[in-house]
Chains A and B, each alone.
Chain A
Amino acid sequence: METILLLAHVEADGSLAKPALEALTAARTIRHYLAGSSLVVGLSGADVGDAVRWIGSCGAARFLGVSGPAFAEPRYATDAAAAEALARASGATLVIAPATSRWSRCLPGVAQRLNGRIDTHITGAMATEGQLTVSRWYYRQRMEALLQRTQRPWFLAIDMGCHEPWAGGSVPVALESVAVDLPESATRTRFLDFRAPQAGEQTIRPDAGLLFVTGAGWTKKQPDGKTHAEEAAALILDFLRKTQASLGSSKSLVDLGGEGQAVLPFLSHLNQVGQTGSTPRHPKGLATCCHGEEPHVVGWRFITERRAVNLDPNCGWARGKADVLYVADAFEVMRKVNEMLAAG
């Protein structure tokens, strides 16, 4: 019989973000699998009152909260202190949290403090002979494993996009405040700001329906013997603005900037998809001027429908990595796509 703690931090406006609601669904699912288990919700933030009411009908037996200005800011020491206090107060044997940057930063340390264990990037959970079994990927999404643990508490960081966000009614519930005695050293680090990598042009949109990937071909010499990086940048940005797609890139294109070659000015390593980049989740992905080599394509693991535009009919995409490969000039194709989008 497990005590399942759902950990979430409230946003600046007092709400819970989508990853927290997805993790709540995961926690409820796990409780359903493990007969006799109970669910406890633990929230931290400046003021958790509104968030607790919002998820009041989720079926949790207890609602715990750590509140205060120090817990509003994302910071290892204070987030870890809040999570530790909530885990101790709940007596949790399983701790479920969304794999946000905030929890990913501190939860392994909390597991260490409590002599527990942690598994991250959890994509699914099930019961096997009454025991919890979780799935996660290894070797950059190349292989998937099912695993169990006997140690408790067992921390599980749930990958985003793997569960439906919980949706239920707002109900007033009794909030148990959990006190945390922060040492002065816990606030040595100061949160200053969030910064977008390029002023005025947000190109990474995790919730977008389409991932648009650019490869190094956009900056290579075209049939006229010249590079057209500026035109490429204009075509890509025009497409992104019209479709609200999320922009990804191959490593080779991002690296060109460091080698002094013509680059797309709005790209950074944050756009990089693949072995040393991200593994985003989008229903569709369109690759352009990208060869589809394995280190890049491992980042496409969670892209459901895949199409590519490339001049090379023997590129990696042709070898079973895309559903459709258009052997065509991406400049011409995207110019036409943008014209059609503009025409409605």
Chain B
Amino acid sequence: MQSFHIVVCGSIVPDPLQTLEPIAGPAGPSLKNEMMLPAVLDPWAAHALYEAANLAKKAAGSKVWLVSLGPKAKLQQVMMTVAQKVPFELVALDGPAGGFTDSYEVAAALAEAIQGIAGVDRSRLLVFGGWESASRGSGSTMQMVGERLGILDQFQGVDELTVAGDGSLRILERVEGGKHQVSACPGPPAVLGWATGNLPEPPNNPQVGMANMRAIMPALQRAKPVKLVLEGLSFGSVKVPSQRRETRIVKDLSAEDVAREILAWIRTQ
């Protein structure tokens, strides 16, 4: 199998179990206590990273980079965990990772960082990322990165990538109605925005962690500052809608009575 240079774009998001509250600031909306919230690697980007590592393992001579834009201190915390999972080289960008940023500006920073990675061979380049983030959730950054890199073979909502013996790619993308679109591409360069993929989260591997961390700390020290200015974008309001319902808890009905009630409800227009 041919080898690949796989660049994964992935940032950090608040742990999904945290309560999030928006606040207004001079530079636009943000989250209350944003820097204090525990963070994780963005879930779909994490899938992309695991798929990248899996592919690199199978294709000898491949290499994985993780390009990550986020506050340096938070990146360091998250990388302590992520580094235990799979081998990669970090390219850190020091800037905001919140949801109220503009994908156009984020894509510009990511594309510039990718172009600056020494030794990346375009003929072997696969740019991976999540198809959406769990913060902004726009599903637009990867395409813009691809355009800036001049890559026209792009796929979104990817659940499977198969590499044939001749190096060609077969890709399954999520489409409407619970189906997959199957496409074939002769080979790199390509952009793949991953959905869930098929791999479980890899177990922690201390040896991998130690090897990764040797390069991660210097990468964090070298992190280039990135300023996102929200040019031309203004937020009128950001609010958490009340969704608390008055739950009726039904404890003492028989299964038959519950079934009857559910059926009547289903049949009501």
Contact = CB atoms under 8 A, between A and B. Distances in A.
Pairing of A with B: yes
Interface of A: 74-77, 80, 100-102, 104-109, 111-113, 117-121, 128, 133, 137-140, 142-151, 185-186, 188-197, 202-206, 209-210, 243, 255, 258-259, 269-272, 275-277, 284, 286, 294-295, 298, 301, 305-307, 309, 313, 317-329, 332-337, 339-341
Nearest to B262: A337
Nearest to A113: B147
Contacts of A150: 232
B255 A138 contact: no
A151 B103 CA distance: 14
Contact of A138 (B16, B99, B236): B99
Contacts of B183: 75, 189-192
Contact of B135 (A139, A269, A277): A139
B215 to A, nearest CB: 28
B33 interface: no
Contact of A120 (B139, B157, B182, B237): B139
A104 to B, nearest CB: 6
Given A142-B240, A275-B134, A323-B248, A104 B266 contact: no
B173 A276 contact: no
Interface stretch (B73-81, B118-126, B148-156): B148-156
B245 A109 contact: no
A188 B135 CA distance: 33
A284 to B, nearest CB: 7
B195 A112 contact: no
21 contacts: A118-B104, A121-B137, A138-B238, A139-B137, A190-B183, A190-B185, A191-B183, A192-B182, A194-B181, A195-B182, A276-B43, A276-B44, A284-B265, A286-B262, A320-B245, A321-B244, A321-B247, A323-B246, A325-B248, A326-B250, A329-B255
Interface string B241-255: 101111111110101
A76 B155 contact: yes
Interface in B225-245: 231-241, 243-245
Given A117-B232, A195-B180, A313 B262 contact: no
B71 interface: no
Given A276-B196, A337-B259, A194 B175 contact: yes
Given A101-B156, A323-B248, 12 more contacts: A105-B155, A108-B144, A120-B138, A147-B235, A191-B181, A191-B182, A191-B183, A195-B181, A275-B134, A276-B43, A276-B196, A305-B265
Given A258-B200, A276-B196, A320 B103 contact: no
Nearest to B241: A144
Interface of B: 13-14, 16-17, 20, 22, 29, 43-44, 99-100, 102-104, 107, 134-144, 146-148, 152-157, 159, 170, 172-186, 195-200, 231-241, 243-251, 253, 255-256, 258-263, 265-266
Contacts of A325: 247-250
Contacts of B135: 138-139
Nearest to B142: A108
B236 A195 contact: no
Contacts of A151: 231-233
B140 A120 contact: yes
Contacts of B107: 112
Contacts of B16: 140, 275, 294-295, 298
Contact of A144 (B231, B233, B238, B253): B238
Contacts of B263: 337, 340-341
Do most interface residues of chain A lie in helix, strand or loop, or is the interface mixed? mixed
Nearest to B256: A336
A238 to B, nearest CB: 13
Nearest to A137: B137
Residue of A76, A113, A191, A327 ringed by the most chain B CB atoms within 10 A: A76
A117 B233 contact: yes
Please provide the 5 A-B residue pairs with the shortest distance between their CB atoms, ordered closest to farther.
A204-B178, A108-B140, A336-B259, A332-B255, A146-B236
Residue of A120, A276, A332 ringed by the most chain B CB atoms within 10 A: A276
Given A108-B144, A144-B239, A191-B181, A320 B138 contact: no
A154 B181 CA distance: 28
A326 B103 CA distance: 43
Contacts of B234: 147-149
Given A104-B156, A140-B137, A340 B260 contact: yes
Given A138-B137, A320-B244, A321-B247, A193 B266 contact: no
A205 B169 CA distance: 30
A34 to B, nearest CB: 16
A77 B186 CA distance: 14
Contacts of A324: 247-250
A319 B246 CA distance: 8
Contacts of A322: 245, 247
